[in-house]
Chain A
Amino acid sequence: MSKNLAPATPPNMPVTPTIRQKGKKEKGMQRIPGQKNFWQRLKNQKALILMSLPFVIWLIVFRYIPVFGWTMAFQDYKPQNTFFEQEWVGFKHFKDLFNEPTFYRALENTLGMGILGLIFGTLAAITFALLLNELRFTKFKKLTQTISYLPHFVSWVIVANIVTTMLSVSGPVNGFLEMIGLIDTPINFMANPNMFWGIVTAAEVWKSTGWNAIIYFAAMAGTDPQLYEAAKVDGASRWRQMWHITLPSIRPVIIVLLILNIGNLINIGFEKQMLLGNNIVAERALVIDLYALNYGIGMFRYSFGTAIGIFKSVISVILILIANGFARKVGEGRVF
């Protein structure tokens, strides 16, 4: 229902330089030069265009055509009526949405958990990739990497159960804290609203660090070994090499991923919050997607749900423009 504007990469046209065919001037026919140019280039690149066509069609069918569904947000949509029988209501659903105090709470929680996840998720992934990159024993390195991204394939239902069991009053975490004498009475972690964001972030980091590190790790592998050799000759320690060679060389990757992730800040889903949450922490656990489910689709209020979807898309676009603009200002790699 809610159409997420994925970080909108425009349908990339192949930009391979074309060989201009000079000296083949046509006589007698008056053609608009641009047009001729176009058909000729099209002909030259037909293989490339044919190859990219399926993806462009895919993009249009699944990313652009569904946007027509946004009209629902301005109607009182009833599934049994055709498009022309729907009743148009203007901005009614948006007004309802912005008058709802619960919605602002959901927005706060979504952005809060999104930002925490972004900061700690990125830091953890980069740190992990750096450490892994320093390992010299290849077999151990491969094994560690494989193990580290396994949690990515575990469903949130299971992760949530593991987390609640670990953190329960009689669970291992409390047992450990009591054993080392840090606390006297067990802490009921899951019943403390102030800890909820932290617990969600920690679970997220545990689950996705290994997976997210893959791309950084791959970027590091592309660094020119001569740089390290030169640094070694100059007497740089391992730390210095990490700081002055490895990190700068993956900086463009970091920036691009950051921009894309910032665009997705608001799309954090609701599985983890729904599965880990309970009535005590509900105030801190309500996120926009869950709100849209309970108050929109769950009540057959398709139009209201669509309005929320549009709102999310607008926020995403704004966030991505800000992040991209910032990257452009500081002269770093950017998305567009």
Chain B
Amino acid sequence: MKKRLSILMLLLVAGLLLLAACGGDNSVDSDETDTTVTDNTTDEKPSEPVTLTFYSEDGEEKSFDDPIAQKITEATGVKLDIQYPVGGNDETIPLMIAGGEYPDLIFAKGDIGILIEAGGVLKLDDLIEERGDNIKAMYGDQLDRLRNSLDDPGIYTVGTAGVHNELLETSGTFQIQLEVLRELGYPEITTLEEFEDAISTYYEMYPEINGEPTLPLSLLGSDWRWLITVGNPAGFAGGFPDDGQWSVDTNTGETVYKFLEPEYREYFKWLNGMNAKGLLDPESFTHTYDTYISKISSGRVLSVADQDWNLTDARFALIDADMEERTYAPLPVTLGEEYVHQGLKDYGFTGGWGIAISSTTEHPELAFDFLDWMASEEAQILVNWGIEGEHYEIVDGQRVLFDEVRERMNTDANFSKETGVGYYLHPFPRWGTGAVDSNGQSITTDTREQIVEDQLDVEKEVLAEYGMELWIDWFPQQNELEISNHGAAYNFTIPAGSDIQIIQQRADDITEQRITQAILADPEDFDDLWDAMLDELEAAEVSKLNEEMTKLTQNVLELWSGNVE
């Protein structure tokens, strides 16, 4: 016994020594960071370029040396060292906080809340007031939308979403193959009923495409994309704008977990019917993303309900394989005539996420000047259009991209990464698609004329038959839709570990499983299953969730009203 004890003691001493060694390291580190905080540069522009580290949650491996980056360095004296999450981004921010070491600039998306709480980022109010002319000009009266919360109405981030948007394209709604429209003689499709008619008629005519069975409607409900191909299309069909998992009354701030709304029940009942009639791809909820994309690329999926960016690969594959007529047209489909499709809604500047300056940076003012310069007209033209004479020229006072530049922009996925043109838009402060410069020209390269020019020939042909120029002409126009006072609920910063977060996770788990089961069930059982799901949600305290979320929305409304000091 004694022998054992003594040896244990020995080991303990060894262990303690080791611990002490580790502890020593830590203290040195924190000393260093402490001293650097006070060392501020006050120069307007340093003579030598200064390298600022920039952690971007959406970043990727990229060196800051393309022509656009060089111009940015020339103008601001700043070089960026872009860091990005490696292997999942859940832990990066918490690790930064635990270590107390931050990069100079941080784009943390929804994790900004815990950074503020940990004191890791600077309050920018004074900097904006003193030297943020470009930022003030860009955000104008929407500056309030950058504020953090009612309890702490400071501004900690700038950027991400475009300011002043005018949508020229929609995304996320039902989409149907151009060929189906052509074959059926260009029918008017604005309701689910008409939509179902169109695909079932075409399906009967052509049960096989290219020797493989036709799939009238395919979804991707096996992973997180359930949200964008199953959950969100239901909202669009019910005439709701996209508020993530919420349904918000933008005037009162009343917020409800969206699957409680009767319109959702109606939509999924229809989807259940589609499945029973054999019109829904039976593998919709089990196939992987790769399988889904390969099915679409083979041209045998008549319709999808998906975001454009999720389908990019399939679209390129179809064009490559000379099946341009199998690409898709967006449809303003709703449950019935009385619903108004919200595809073109202007959410205003959605606020929430953005780039913050860390509290440990040696160059807070330089970092801020950099962000402010990015918001200037000069910078916005540079990052959107590139360099005059190299990427665009001025014809009759208008900026026009060189043909080969535009060609590469539309077909080469690496274009913006290699040249930098269009690369430094997200997540920096930026103007939206509707913004114009001091000469009245569009700041972004997406103008009406240019979208028309980029359309495929088949697309033009079909559009002409409908008497339209752009697909958005099919949708209820932006000025007919109510303006969102709260931005979009999915951009709200929800406190980490709060009731909202926990209950919402529970509710999301329940709805994803139960709705999937209800869609695949016998139509006779649908109502029972749906009611059972509502009971289950109630048991998971969804009413408390609604209450808390309503409070949050009302806080945002008050914060953004401009009356908070």
List chain A positions with a Cβ less than 8 A from chain B: 11, 13, 34-35, 37-38, 41, 53, 56-57, 60-61, 64-65, 78-80, 102, 161, 164-165, 168-169, 188, 190-191, 278-280, 282-283, 294-295, 297-302, 304
Contacts and interface: CB of A to CB of B under 8 A. Distances in A.
Contact of B97 (A53, A57, A80, A190): A80
A52 B56 CA distance: 46
A80 B118 contact: yes
Interface in B491-518: 496-497, 501-502, 505-506, 509, 512-513, 516-517
A107 B291 CA distance: 32
B97 A282 contact: no
Contacts of A64: 15
B11 A80 contact: no
Interface string B16-55: 0011000000000000000000000000000000000000
Given A13-B7, A80-B118, A295-B502, A279 B512 contact: yes
A294 B222 contact: no
A300 B497 contact: yes
Contacts of A35: 2
A79 B2 contact: no
A102 to B, nearest CB: 7
B90 interface: yes
A57 B8 CA distance: 11
Contacts of B120: 80
Interface in B85-137: 90-91, 94, 97-98, 100, 114, 117-120
B288 interface: yes
Interface in B161-193: none
Contacts of A282: 509, 512-513
A298 B501 CA distance: 10
Given A80-B98, A299-B501, A57 B18 contact: yes
Given A78-B118, A278-B286, 7 more contacts: A80-B97, A168-B287, A188-B286, A278-B222, A280-B516, A294-B509, A299-B505
A134 to B, nearest CB: 41
18 contacts: A13-B4, A34-B2, A37-B3, A38-B2, A60-B15, A161-B288, A164-B287, A164-B288, A168-B287, A188-B282, A190-B286, A278-B223, A278-B286, A280-B285, A280-B286, A280-B513, A282-B513, A304-B497
Contacts of B285: 191, 278-280
Interface string B472-497: 00000000000000000000000011
B11 A57 contact: yes
A13 B5 CA distance: 12
B520 interface: yes
A32 to B, nearest CB: 9
A80 B91 CA distance: 14
B364 interface: no
Q: 7 tightest CB-CB pairs across the interface, nearest first?
A: A80-B118, A79-B98, A300-B496, A279-B516, A190-B286, A278-B222, A301-B497
B15 A65 contact: yes
Interface in B327-360: none
B513 A65 contact: no
Contacts of B2: 34-35, 38
A41, A191, A294 — most chain B CB neighbours (10 Å): A191
B275 to A, nearest CB: 12
Dominant secondary structure of chain B at its interface with chain A: helix
Contact of B15 (A57, A188, A283): A57
Nearest to B1: A34
B468 interface: no
B58 interface: no
A267 to B, nearest CB: 21
Contacts of B100: 80
B6 A38 contact: yes
Given A61-B15, A79-B97, A294 B505 contact: yes
Nearest to B213: A170
Contacts of B3: 34, 37-38, 41
B564 interface: no
B267 interface: no
Contacts of A168: 283, 286-287, 291
Interface of B: 2-4, 6-7, 11, 14-15, 18-19, 90-91, 94, 97-98, 100, 114, 117-120, 221-223, 226, 282-283, 285-288, 291, 496-497, 501-502, 505-506, 509, 512-513, 516-517, 520
Nearest to B2: A34
Contact of B286 (A60, A191, A294, A300): A191
A57 B16 CA distance: 11
Contacts of A11: 11
A169 B283 contact: yes
Nearest to B508: A294
A190 B221 CA distance: 13
A294 B508 CA distance: 12
A117 to B, nearest CB: 22
A276 to B, nearest CB: 10
Contacts of B287: 164, 168
Contacts of B7: 13
Contacts of A299: 496-497, 501-502, 505
Contacts of A60: 11, 14-15
A102 B18 contact: no
Nearest to A277: B222
A300 B93 CA distance: 10
A102 B286 contact: no
A123 B90 CA distance: 39
A297 B15 CA distance: 29
Nearest to A60: B15
Given A38-B2, A164-B286, A188-B282, A279 B14 contact: no
A87 B470 CA distance: 58
B507 to A, nearest CB: 12
Contacts of A300: 94, 114, 496-497
A279 B513 contact: yes
Contacts of B97: 79-80
B117 to A, nearest CB: 7
Contacts of A304: 497
Contacts of A278: 221-223, 285-286
Nearest to B118: A80
Contacts of A298: 90, 505
Contacts of A169: 282-283
A8 to B, nearest CB: 15
Contacts of A165: 291
Contacts of A61: 15, 18
A205 B180 CA distance: 47
B158 to A, nearest CB: 23
A192 to B, nearest CB: 10
A147 to B, nearest CB: 27
Nearest to B111: A300
A198 to B, nearest CB: 16
A173 to B, nearest CB: 14
Contacts of B117: 78, 80
A294 B507 CA distance: 13
Contacts of B19: 65
Contacts of B513: 279-280, 282-283
B11 A56 contact: yes
Contacts of A301: 496-497, 502
A297 B88 CA distance: 13
A168 to B, nearest CB: 6
Contacts of A38: 2-3, 6
A79 B6 CA distance: 36
Contacts of B221: 278-279
Contacts of A294: 505, 509
A64 B4 CA distance: 17
Contacts of A57: 11, 14-15, 18
Nearest to A39: B6
Given A278-B285, A300-B497, A102 B118 contact: no
